[in-house]
Amino acid sequence: MTLLSVQNLSVTYTPRDHAAVRAVHDVSFTVDDNEFVGLLGESGCGKSTLGNAILRLLTPPARISGGTVEFNGRDITTASQDELRDMRWVDLSTVFQSSMNSLNPVIRVEDQFEDTFEAHREAPRTDPAELLRMVSLEPHVLKAFPHELSGGMKQRVALALALALRPKLVLLDEPTTGLDVVVQRSILDELRTLRERLGFAVIFISHDLGTVLELADRVMVMYGGELVEDRPAAEMLRDPRHPYTRGLLGSYADPRLAEVKVSYIPGRPPDLSREHRGCLFTARCPYAEDQCRETHPDLLENHGGLVRCHVAQQERLPDTPPGAVEGAAPIGAFSTVSPASDTAEVEVRPVLTVENVSMTYRTRRGLRTSSTEAVRDVSLALFGGRVTALVGQSGSGKSTIARLVTGVERPTSGTVSFGETRVDKLRGRALRNYRRHVQMVFQDPFSALNPTRTVAYALSRPLVNYRGLRGGAVRDRAAELLESVGLSPAGQFLDKLPHQLSGGQRQRVVTARALAPEPEILIADEPISMLDVSIRAEILELLGDLARTRRLAMLYITHDLLSARLLADEVLVLNKGRLVESGATLDVIGSAQDDYTRLLLESIPNPFARAR
């Protein structure tokens, strides 16, 4: 039985100082009782806007500009605010993208449940302790404030709140974004169990392809505000029919396989403030034909699903096995990144060594002093031309080690040495001079750049401060740096502001800025975690090329074993501040010896098993 029906839904943003943006255009689909539907797509494709439109949570300048949304036969698009208030949480519920921060920070968890029940007095109440047990939390969590909970615990509380009034449909918008793979796996397993037990339908919005395809009964793919493919998940894995879907599938792989290759989709999504004549994916599509540029395709039945593609509808797509990457093809094809080689030439002397380092943080509260051991007895060495991956969950001590290597903090015990120089002993000007030799590529390219300054300015600061360049030499060198990270021609980027760049382009600018002082060591701290899956391989390829051509010693910090498998020559596994396993990448990931490493590997989604 159809629970939710969306017909010809369009959403338009009409800001005062910019052209109107057609964020969602003519979208139609249904969701049945107890069905799990995944919604995939890159950032900006309209996924979250569509979710907010379904819940009638859009705020100006966004508005529904056409179409209808019906839930159990009731038209949500024309419902009054009182009617919507009665439906939300009781019939329709949601876990927001920022749910870890959406809990009220000044009241206890039990009061958050009480607020929900108080707003819907007529709905049957469920014991909050029982709700917490359903999401694997102990009842004592009810007495806690949100800041006393970990990210995973907050996410579980948000899920329990969403299920408190036994809704028929739960919309999950990026519910595991920002969580490490182990916590993500446990929450998704609980979601699967709860759905089987309570019998509710799910719309799961995400750019995490592996998770969606593993859990969903049916998957819809959005691009440029439109649905471009809609079919059962297992069928999509076996026979993806839209070139964009194929590109997304090519960007994901199981790192445990003997041979791992992934691809990325070059180019940028379309500007939705402009009219487009043909297919919106034409500029990025390796199969585009003249018809694609002239005529906009409709969403039509094809191979047991729906697809918006002229080439697919005319049966001219080449065969692609599940999980395969597009092969060599003319310009515009998906580029391929191959796994790191374990035979790379190793320099005899390490560029940097960390020996028996421990780091303890002490916190004073009144007369009490507590201590937390973030890192314990860790040793590692970084060599020129090689990438060392530091892998572990959130809170395992990875970022603490990065701060020790950069000299931001000094270890409680042990030594950090750059050649013959003791980094842990440096002070003042000597420490500042050392930082020219070690640079960072930060996790979030969106906040790493000053939004009011141009790319040229961002690159000029290290060139002036560390290299002593002046005048025209600064701009010339900035252009060379942009060319070296694949932003060509550089003249098109130098005078742009960060908001005028895509996520991948911003991360390339951040990388160019890190290269400006000509460092010997590059620390990449989760450099792809904030990027769409379709462009992650592009940045990994760049980092790998830079490490080997410039003989950089790279410390790659991540909780993503797929990216470590693709990029790193060596993997170090960190658990609760201790190094539990280390070795060549293929040895650690291919035949893990430690239980914790095996847990990390077992937590990785494996959707392609459904296609067999």
CATH, residue 412 = 3.40.50.300
What does the alpha-carbon distance between residue 573 and residue 577 come to, in Å, rounded to a whole number? 10
Judgement on whether residues 193 and 50 belong to the same structural domain of the protein? yes
In eight-state DSSP terms, residue 174 is S
Q: Give the count of domains, the chain.
A: 3
Judgement on whether residues 306 and 175 belong to the same structural domain of the protein? no
Host domain of residue 310: 240-338
pLDDT at 326: 45
pLDDT at 333: 36
Judgement on whether residues 134 and 202 belong to the same structural domain of the protein? yes
Judgement on whether residues 180 and 272 belong to the same structural domain of the protein? no
Q: Which amino acid is at 471?
A: G
Quick check: 533 and 209 in contact, CB under 8 A? yes
Long-range CB pairs of 185-193, under 8 A, 24+ apart, other chains included: 185/602, 185/603, 185/605, 186/136, 186/152, 187/135, 187/152, 187/155, 187/156, 187/159, 188/215, 190/134, 190/135, 190/136, 190/156, 190/159, 191/159, 191/215
Last residue in a domain, options 311, 338, 365: 338
Judgement on whether residues 280 and 193 belong to the same structural domain of the protein? no
Judgement on whether residues 360 and 280 belong to the same structural domain of the protein? no
pLDDT at 148: 87
- Whether residue 373 is contained in a domain is answered as yes
Read off φ and ψ for residue 83, nearest 5 degrees: -65, -40
pLDDT at 345: 56
- For the record, the structure tokens of 582 come out as 């280390």
Quick check: 71 and 225 in contact, CB under 8 A? no
Judgement on whether residues 314 and 412 belong to the same structural domain of the protein? no
Judgement on whether residues 31 and 9 belong to the same structural domain of the protein? yes
SS3 call for 107: coil
- Whether residue 79 is contained in a domain is answered as yes
pLDDT at 475: 96
Quick check: 292 and 279 in contact, CB under 8 A? yes
User: In terms of Cα–Cα distance, which of 411, 416, 500, 391 is closest to 453?
Assistant: 500
Angle ∠(26,27,33) on CA atoms, nearest 5: 150
What does the alpha-carbon distance between residue 236 and residue 249 come to, in Å, rounded to a whole number? 9
What does the alpha-carbon distance between residue 536 and residue 406 come to, in Å, rounded to a whole number? 25
pLDDT at 451: 93
- Whether residue 480 is contained in a domain is answered as no
Judgement on whether residues 331 and 358 belong to the same structural domain of the protein? no
- pLDDT < 70: residue spans in the chain: 97-101, 178, 320-347, 611-612
The helix (H) or strand (E) run that includes residue 483 is helix 472-484
CA gyration radius for the chain? 25
What does the alpha-carbon distance between residue 297 and residue 309 come to, in Å, rounded to a whole number? 6
Judgement on whether residues 388 and 366 belong to the same structural domain of the protein? yes
CA dihedral 41, 42, 44, 50 (to 10 degrees): 20
- Whether residue 7 is contained in a domain is answered as yes
